[in-house]
Amino acid sequence: MIDPLIQIQALVEFATNAPGYGPLQNDTILKQVNKAFYGKNGCKDQQEACYAAKNNALSDKICVAADDYCVRLYNQHPELSQLTVIACQGNEVGDPVLDGYDAYDLRQNASASFPPAYYTKYLADPSVLKKIGAEVPYLECSGQVNDNFVPTGDVRD
């Protein structure tokens, strides 16, 4: 679904210096977040250990532990987790930490729906489904798919 190391590192770097906007958090928070990600036995080290484990008897345990640690990084720094909005939550935007900017697109006001919500209705239209040859209805977030990833540490539900 996602590569957590790339996703979380990009989030930390973006919060530290969003192109054209600068830091999105104060220095104290950025120092804590960078330490939790880049520090010894931090999120980066643990995700790399997960990758190194490959696919063996211990890999799921190592990867779930890495995922749990990195999720705690978000939980300890809710201001950071607000920079990434999970699509399954209905595109909730307008986090005060972002000073009214859309969490998906800083160029937009938080009141903008990005991506526009109409695409889900469009993809549910039977004529569209027929034209694109879809065999099942579009789901923005599949619980069944997510449930298959959670036990391996690949994604957090």
What is the C-alpha separation between 62 and 54, in angstroms, rounded?
10
Confidence at residue 97, expressed as pLDDT on a 0 to 100 scale: 41
Confidence at residue 93, expressed as pLDDT on a 0 to 100 scale: 33
Q: Which residues does 20 contact at the CB level (< 8 Å), separation at least 6?
A: 106
pLDDT along the chain (157 residues), means of 10: 78 83 82 88 91 86 86 66 39 42 66 71 89 84 69 56
Structure tokens at 88: 């399954």
What is the C-alpha separation between 1 and 6, in angstroms, rounded?
12
* φ/ψ of residue 148, rounded to 5: -75, -25
Confidence at residue 18, expressed as pLDDT on a 0 to 100 scale: 82
pTM of the model: 0.57
* φ/ψ of residue 87, rounded to 5: -55, -30
Confidence at residue 136, expressed as pLDDT on a 0 to 100 scale: 81
Confidence at residue 87, expressed as pLDDT on a 0 to 100 scale: 31
Confidence at residue 150, expressed as pLDDT on a 0 to 100 scale: 66
Dihedral sign, CA of 59, 65, 87, 141? positive
* φ/ψ of residue 22, rounded to 5: 80, -160
Domain boundaries, the chain: 4-152
* φ/ψ of residue 46, rounded to 5: -70, -40
Chain mean pLDDT for the chain: 74
